[in-house]
Amino acid sequence: MSKPIPEGVEITDAITRHMDRRFLSSVDLAGQGVVWLTIAKATKHDVLRYDNGQTENDAILLHFAEIPRPLKLNSTNIKAIIVKLGSGKVSDWVGQKIPLAAVPGRYFGEDGLAVRVTEVAPVNNLKKNLDAALDAAAKTTKTKEEETK
């Protein structure tokens, strides 16, 4: 039997005020499609302490040239970087650009977004971009009636 969830404090203000903003998250990338960032370095932390008091052992952070917040790597993204860059050596990654996106899915039993190394834009952005392209095409395409006038 799992432990009951302790009573929390209700929040009504911006959710991002309650997140550990030291790290890159899906909130930063949501709605932006694919963002390409240059790897500056990776750092390993024996114990990583979050703002909420939780800790994580053996955490690896990936730092980027363009932004100050690193991405905490998980096994999914590590595998994707190795495949994308063709090497498991971090020294081969430095200076290379990788594509990141906030990808919708089911994570830890809940629907949400996660940062993923991927060149595929999330479906909601593809639909938005496709709708915009179709609208633009419709405005510039003449109907058969207009062509015969």
Q: Is the pLDDT confidence value at 5 over 70? A: yes
Domain count, the chain: 1
Q: Identify the CA nearest to 81 among candidates 94, 70, 93, 63.
A: 93
DSSP helix/strand/coil, 124: helix
Domain that holds residue 109: 18-119
Domain membership flag for residue 46 = yes
Domain membership flag for residue 96 = yes
Q: Could you tell me the pTM of the whole model? A: 0.69
Predicted local confidence at residue 137, as pLDDT? 62
Q: pLDDT tens digits for 30-75?
A: 888 899 999 999 999 999 888 777 888 999 999 999 999 999 999 9
- The better pLDDT of the pair 125, 74 is held by 74
Domain membership flag for residue 131 = no
Domain membership flag for residue 148 = no
Predicted local confidence at residue 68, as pLDDT? 92
Beta carbons within 8 Å of 23's beta carbon, 6+ residues apart: 61, 69, 70, 71, 72
Q: Identify the CA nearest to 25 among candidates 62, 90, 72, 84.
A: 72
Q: pLDDT tens digits for 91-119?
A: 999 999 999 998 888 777 777 788 999 98
- The better pLDDT of the pair 92, 138 is held by 92
